[in-house]
Each structure stands twice: as structure tokens, then as C-alpha cells.
Amino acid sequence: MRRLLLWMARNAYLRRTLPRLPFAQRAVRRFMPGETVEEAFAAADRLNALGLGVLFTHLGENLTSLSEASEVARHYHDVLERDAHRARKVEISVKPTQLGLDIDAEACFRHCDELAAHAEQSGTWFWLDMEGSAYTERTVALYERLRTRHEHLGIALQAYLKRTGADIQRLLPSKPAIRLVKGAYDEPAELAYRSRPEVDANYQALAIILAGASHTGNARVCLGTHDLRLINRITNLAVAMGGNKTELEVHMLYGIREDELLKLSKQGYPCSSLVAYGGAWYAWYMRRLAERPANIAFALRQILP
């Protein structure tokens, strides 16, 4: 089922057709507040009032022209300008291919550099999202280059990739901010762990390494997972090693296990919700379905009257 959904995410015909269908439009509302930035900010206001932090990501990837990349960059600059008047700032999380990584790596760097500077001036953070394995090295290298110029800069790393342990060791000297996620692309066995037990075991091992860096003030660490058992195991181990659960943040996607995220927040964990919005939601949505069987059941229920 996971492989089928990831194939559907890549299929051009389905990408054109399914988003027009009413049941698909109903189902996606579980994972995003709407397609406009106004709807995203309305969701942020509600989440902030509940005590949660917020990250924004405007959906889209693999653009075909630098003019499109410039338009995406302008959008995020506008978000930061609008956010400047809010008491609690949103953080922004962007896929490098949205800013032209496929087309012109230097243009992508300039956009990221300017956005990171703007975010820093606004008192918030700029994050690089991670995409498929074809982009991993380029994204890590981009982060390294930007990190020499910016403090409030984060990167997402994927626990199912076998190289991620080496990437963490590579980045730790720079005192990074890392959001550790499981991974949502269809990767070959030579590059990625394919079974859930293997992915969970690697996630836990990597998170404990990062927890040690967080405890000594050498990293900002965010657990980007909805797996409560995994979160509890990691935080219990971190505390047993002398750490504190407040040193580990928890990031979850908007609309998934929000009640549990609020419980974690009340227990002292710094918690945030990743709010996705925009019209280019199809591929992103299909990867969300592939991540959890419960998401598939919800989507299927939307077919019924």
C-alpha cells in the first residue's frame, strides 16, 4: 500500500486529475487549513492561543523556471513581513527545489541566504526541508554553506536513510538545528531502511545522539514524528542520561494527533505544528497517506456520502 501511494504521488495523470475531485478536496482538509496564506495565519493564531509554536510550508516542489523560484521567495518574504506584527512568530520551512535547486544552485543559495537573513531579522527561523535521496547531499551542503552565515537556520534529516548518522556527525560541529523525521519517499533498499522496526530503531539511535548534543547546548533538536511510543522511549532515555525533556522539541503535522501534541505541551515539551497550505498539495498529501495506515482509513471515508 505504501509503495502504491508513493507511486500515485509521482504519477502525472493522477496529479492532474485527483485534486479536482470533491472527495480528495474534503480529505486533504484534515492535513491543511486551506490553500491561502490567510487561512494558514488563521490556523497559526488558533494554535498559538493553545500554546503551540507554528511552522509554515507553502506546498510545491521541482519548479521548472527561475521566475517561479523568485515568486516562491517573494511569497515567503511577504509571510515574514506579515508575521512581523504578531506576538509569536511563525517559522518557515522550504524545499530547496522550490527555490530553484534543480535549475541554478547559486540562485537557490541566494534565495535561501536572503530568506534566512530576513527570518533572523524578524526573530524567527528558516528551515530547509529534505526531499528525496537525489537531493540529500546537495541539501546538506547547502545547509553547511548557509550555516556559516546564519544562526537561526535548521534542516530536516530523514532517519530511514542509511547515511543520516554520518550526516549528523558531519553537522554537529556547526551546532545545528535538526528536525529528525522518519522519511516519506520511496527509496531503494541500498539507500534506506525499508521496514518499520528498522526505521524506528535508527530513529531512536539518532535521536539519542542528538539529545546529547542538545543537553550540552550544541544543537537544537526537534522530533518530527507522530509516534508517541517512540517519543516516550527517546525522552525517557535522554532523561536517564542526565538530560531534560524540555531540551527536545516535538513537531507534528497540522491536523494529526493535535490532542496528543497539546498533552505533550502541557507536560513541558516545546511543541509546534507544521502548517502546510497552497494549491500544489497532491504529491505532499499522498506521501502523508503513505506514512500512517490511519491516514488512509480517514481518506477512504471521504469517498462515502
All three cell numbers of 242, joined, read 542526565
For 98-114, how does the pLDDT look when each residue is reduced to its tens digit (9 = 90+)?
999 999 999 999 999 99
Q: For 62-89, b where at least 16 C-beta lie within 10 A, e where not — what string?
A: ebeeeeebbebbebbbebbeebeeeeeb
The distance of Cα 119 from the centroid of its chain, to the nearest Å, equals 17
Q: Which residues are catalytic?
A: 129, 179
**DSSP letters of 55-95?**
EEEE-----S-HHHHHHHHHHHHHHHHHHTTSSSPPEEEE-
All three cell numbers of 78, joined, read 511577504
CATH, domain range 2-27+52-301: 3.20.20.220
**pLDDT value at residue 302:** 55
**Sequence ranges of the domains in the chain:** 2-27+52-301
Q: Are strands 126-128 and 153-158 parallel, antiparallel or unpaired?
A: parallel
For 24-79, how does the pLDDT look when each residue is reduced to its tens digit (9 = 90+)?
666 677 788 888 999 999 999 999 999 999 999 998 766 889 999 999 999 999 99
Rounded Cα–Cα distance for residues 90 and 81 (Å): 11
For 243-302, how does the pLDDT look when each residue is reduced to its tens digit (9 = 90+)?
988 899 999 999 889 999 999 999 999 999 999 998 777 776 777 677 665 666 655 565
pLDDT surpassing 90 at residue 11: no
For 123-150, how does the pLDDT look when each residue is reduced to its tens digit (9 = 90+)?
999 999 999 999 999 999 999 999 999 9
Looking at residue 190, its amino acid is E
Rounded Cα–Cα distance for residues 214 and 239 (Å): 12
Write the Ramachandran bin of 270: left for phi over 0, alpha for psi from -120 to 50, otherwise beta.
beta
